Chains A and B, each alone.
Chain A
């Protein structure tokens, strides 16, 4: 894949749009389907201008019918197309769960491996927009609990483009979780099409004192925390799984072997969150013998996302929380 260095910078939302556009230009089987994705351009502007470029047959506006949107993706994928569905807010995926969990994820296995369901379901998750409890959830862990689904969560514009192009080319149903607060974040993204293999994590920053495993927007916050911590002489290593499931954990485990300490950070609520899976993998591995501190989780509080700006801010990990928790672990103040 091309390097991100020395290329132009675009935003995360532009990177997602570029991945969709280039995939549709390269493969006429790819089409988009979802609510308000046409002339409106999508609730977050992801598909802005794409209806004009590709027309209503390939950028399909739907009624508000999430079960049928997901089912339409399953049926089209089973019969030779490569649909990319959009669920307007991740919370609304609850209305399409049956088609996603009982159909998309299981059809291939139930049919003895004789069917393929190459579909992508994109959806924006996360809090920080003041949209309160029904438009701010981070539900990605649910889907990691369903064999047959792949779950991808890009944290940078570069990853967003490469992972989405890979997801569209993948033969399996992929849940592609974008973050609303990342849409306006800029970063270097090569203009040419490229893919990042699903399942491969990324060492975002190298360090020796502590391994921080973070997902989605928490990768950005961990990077900011790393700058603060570096001023105190604490160098954290940041691992971004990028694909939550299936996930090759060997890089993460090697990192913990090196640092001897681990902190897992995600926005979703703590109880039974993805962090529990990451911590389990660390303590079940050879890294156990190298641990010289408890493995800790920093995650969203076990509450729905509140409306009030200050309460919302305190519901999920912020940079200062990561700094404080990392400092405690490194200094042995736990």
Chain B
């Protein structure tokens, strides 16, 4: 077991209570994310999509808990493993699926694909194919919010691997010295592709790095949607109060490989099973006291929504090659 897996004890002070209705909605979104990604995998196997994809199955609680604590006016920057963040942000599964299949009706007109889904109109400033690529951008969004004097925040999501990039250091330092309203949300899924966290850094918690920049740092159980929600909620309150950025580490795990080409030689089946026993969806369903039937029917609803999304995407037109030059310059 990685050291950091035992370090899920630092909880934010005030754990805000969510209503059962809110938790039900969150559970449904988590199920929708899981079914979306399972369908994505199917479509890939059937040869209906090309390229690669990075699945977040197992990490749903972090995406849903974090987005749930923000408002529609806030901004999101996320990662290559970003389907979950987008759905949690309220993006439409059909427009995402169309993008995934490279169709003109997709969020990015088929030009971005799985790794670059964005919805700028909804303040989703996009997934990023470069590890730590979103962090410097979040500083600029924070500056923009301050210049416009609005009560917004920006949340930038990144992985454990990103915290070893220079951009992580430059960005958190800059956001700290200017007390910018930025939430740095680290999804620690224990591996940067094949590199385990405990071999890539000599500390127990990534959130310990916050101290180096003079900002708040917390580590939470990323498979506990309420814990994630509370941490982001508190970070948002601090940010809008002018108290600056927070570094939140969410410990979680991806069940699937890094991408489609990953044979997972770097970890054991037992380790994966240990984490599956802590599955965030099962956990929340149990917490809500759902029967097996209740759970099945919610999953069925999610499956139906995903099936409609696939139908929409398959019926959508391909981009016209005549438009290939569009969008390079405004």
A residues engaging B (CB < 8 A)? 29, 31, 33, 57, 60, 62-63, 65, 67-68, 70-81, 83, 98-99, 102-103, 107-116, 118, 147-148, 150, 171-172, 246
Instruction: Using CB atoms, name the residue of chain A closest to B109.
Output: A112
Q: Contact: A110 with B141, CB < 8 Å?
A: no
Q: Contact: B167 with A78, CB < 8 Å?
A: no
**Interfacial chain B residues near A81, Cβ < 8 Å:** 140, 143-144, 147-148
Taking the closest CB of chain B, its distance from the CB of A157, in whole angstroms, is 27
Tell me what chain A mostly uses at the interface: helix, strand, loop, or mixed: mixed
As a 0/1 sequence over residues 192 to 205 of chain B, the CB contacts with chain A under 8 angstroms (1 = contact) are 00000000000000
As a 0/1 sequence over residues 70 to 93 of chain B, the CB contacts with chain A under 8 angstroms (1 = contact) are 000001010000000000000000
Q: Contact: A115 with B118, CB < 8 Å?
A: yes
Q: Contact: A63 with B174, CB < 8 Å?
A: yes
Q: Point out the residue from B112, B170, B173 that lies within 8 Å of A110, measured CB to CB.
A: B112
Q: How many residues of B contact A (CB 8 A)?
A: 46
- Chain B residues numbered 147-182 whose CB sits less than 8 Å from any CB in chain A: 147-148, 154, 166-167, 170-171, 173-174, 177
Determine whether B235 belongs to the interface, using a CB cutoff of 8 Å to chain A: no
Determine whether B236 belongs to the interface, using a CB cutoff of 8 Å to chain A: no
Give 5 A-B contacts (CB < 8 Å), ordered by A residue: A65-B174, A99-B136, A110-B112, A110-B126, A172-B330
Q: Contact: A67 with B136, CB < 8 Å?
A: yes
Specify which of B130, B147, B154 lies most central, judged by the most chain A CB atoms within 10 Å of its CB: B147
Contact (A70, B136) CB under 8 Å given A79-B75, A110-B126, A113-B109: yes
Q: Contact: B120 with A68, CB < 8 Å?
A: no
Q: Contact: B170 with A67, CB < 8 Å?
A: yes
What are the 6 tightest A-B residue pairs by CB atom distance, in nearest-first order?
A71-B136, A75-B140, A112-B109, A113-B327, A171-B330, A65-B170
Q: Point out the residue from B112, B133, B143 that lies within 8 Å of A98, measured CB to CB.
A: B133
A83 to B141, CA, bound (A): 11
Contact (A72, B133) CB under 8 Å given A109-B111, A110-B111, A110-B112: no
Contact (A111, B140) CB under 8 Å given A57-B147, A79-B75, A171-B330: no
Contact (A148, B136) CB under 8 Å given A76-B141, A79-B144: no
Determine whether B326 belongs to the interface, using a CB cutoff of 8 Å to chain A: yes
A150 to B110, CA, bound (A): 24
B residues engaging A (CB < 8 A)? 75, 77, 106-112, 116, 118, 120-121, 125-126, 128-130, 133, 135-148, 154, 166-167, 170-171, 173-174, 177, 326-330
Q: Contact: B120 with A78, CB < 8 Å?
A: yes
A254 to B209, CA, bound (A): 60
- What 19 new A-B contacts, CB under 8 Å, besides A75-B125, A111-B112, A171-B329? A62-B174, A65-B173, A67-B167, A68-B167, A68-B173, A71-B137, A74-B136, A74-B140, A75-B139, A78-B137, A98-B167, A103-B137, A108-B329, A109-B327, A110-B112, A110-B118, A111-B116, A111-B327, A113-B326
Q: Point out the residue from A71, A109, A114, A246 that lies within 8 Å of B140, measured CB to CB.
A: A71
A112 to B139, CA, bound (A): 24
Taking the closest CB of chain A, its distance from the CB of B213, in whole angstroms, is 11
Instruction: Using CB atoms, name the residue of chain A closest to B327.
Output: A113
**Interfacial chain A residues near B139, Cβ < 8 Å:** 68, 71-72, 75
Taking the closest CB of chain B, its distance from the CB of A248, in whole angstroms, is 14
A116 to B136, CA, bound (A): 17
Q: Point out the residue from A57, A80, A114 that lies within 8 Å of B121, measured CB to CB.
A: A114
Taking the closest CB of chain A, its distance from the CB of B207, in whole angstroms, is 20
**Interfacial chain B residues near A115, Cβ < 8 Å:** 118, 120, 125-126
**Interfacial chain B residues near A70, Cβ < 8 Å:** 136
**Interfacial chain A residues near B177, Cβ < 8 Å:** 63
**Interfacial chain A residues near B116, Cβ < 8 Å:** 110-111
